[in-house]
Amino acid sequence: MSESIVTSQTQQAAPQAAKPAKPVAKPAWEKPKLEDVSEQVMAQPYIRFT
């Protein structure tokens, strides 16, 4: 059952008691830093990306 159908049924049963929508979960992304480059960036033969 999809989330949208659940929401629809809940609204029909108790429209006055609808809960506030939960905020959409955002991925916990990190800001890239130069210190991360050495371990996270691949190189090619004779082309170093670090």
Partner 1 sequence: MTLSIDRFGAPLFVSWQLTRDCDLACLHCCTESAPGKRLRDELDEGEALRVAADIVDSGVPYVMLCGGEPTLVPHFFAVAEALGNAGVNLKVETNGQRFEAAAAKRLARLPIRSIQVSLDGDTQAVYERQRPGASLAKAHAACRAVRDAGLPLEITFAPTRLNLHEAAAVIERARALGAFRFNSGRLMRLGTAARLWHKLAPSDAQYREYREVLARAGDVLEPPMELCYVPWSIEDGLRAALSDPPATLLVLPNGWVKVAAPLPEFCADLRRTTLAGAWQSYREAWRNDATRSAVKRAIDDESCHAEANTWRMTPVAHV
Q: Which residues bind partner 1 (CB under 8 A)?
A: 27, 29-34, 36-37, 40-49
Pick between residue 8 and residue 36 the one whose CB is nearest to partner 1.
36
User: Please, what is the minimum distance in Å from the beta carbon of residue 39 to partner 1?
Assistant: 9
Please report where in the chains the tokens 């609204």 appear, as a residue.
11
Chain Cα centroid distance, residue 13: 31
Give me the sign of the Cα torsion angle 21, 27, 33, 35: positive
Q: To the nearest whole angstrom, how small is the minimum distance from the Cβ of residue 4 to partner 1?
A: 23
Q: Which is nearer to partner 1, 19 or 48 (CB)?
A: 48
Helix (H, G, I), strand (E, B) or coil at 50: coil
